[in-house]
Amino acid sequence: MEGPMKAIVSLSGGLDSTTVLAAAIESGADVQAVIFRYGSKHNQFENQAAFDVAKHYRIPARLFDLSPIMKGFNSVLMRAGGEIPEGHYEAESMRQTVVPGRNTIFASILIGLAESEMANEVWLGIHAGDHHIYPDCRPEWLTAMNEVAQAATEGKVQFKAPFLYETKLGILRYGVQRKVPYHLTRTCYKAQPVACGRCGSCNERREAFMLLGIKDPIEYEYHGPLPEKELPKGNQ
């Protein structure tokens, strides 16, 4: 008799990947988490959050340290980059937080690990809120990576992104119903232990909790009004 499906979840420690982890566990798969360290400003805080989440669910978690390899990548998200922009999460300034090739590099490692571990699925937390700013979170990227995974493993491994077309609000709604431990998660992009409440990532999360009408269980440095979405030039 065959055992349960084996799955690897790419776990950043944020709201999205933690909810994806809950979904993978709920699917009945035998789950393990993979955590990446790549040299971002907020890495130490999100890595700790990811380990805390894995401990909560009592699943194994493995850390891959890619920071020496990705040290020179150009992004304000990286330690050598400039200031993290503040404002709406779809503002054009947020493009500065793109880390070139990051998810493609992660995906390649996940494909190899999945085949090595005889895991059939790799679960990702990419979602609709990322599509505007991040090219490697879009449906066409996922389609291409699935083709690579299938070709590279002779059909043994596939990617799953259950919230690919879902908003942060929809993800949160799903997770709240399943008592996902959002108090353990880390969303902020800044190099500080308490979430800033001003960066695009914080604002997207704050907005989701506000729209759902529940209190976010984490602390914020700033609790003021959320920024409005910028209108395209010519429409203002």
What value does the mean pLDDT take over residues 53-69?
A: 98
pLDDT beyond 70 at 142? yes
Q: Is the pLDDT of residue 31 over 90?
A: yes
Tens-place pLDDT, residues 207-222: 999 999 999 999 999 9
The sign of the CA dihedral 36, 107, 163, 123 is negative
pLDDT digits (tens, 9 = 90+) for 154-199: 999 999 999 999 999 999 999 999 999 999 999 999 999 999 999 9
Structure confidence at residue 37 (pLDDT) = 98
pLDDT at 235: 47
The single residue listed with the structure tokens 């077309």 is: 165
Q: What is the pLDDT of residue 4?
A: 79
Q: How many CB atoms lie within 10 A of CB 52?
A: 17
pLDDT at 229: 81
pTM: 0.94
Mean pLDDT (whole number) for 86-107: 95
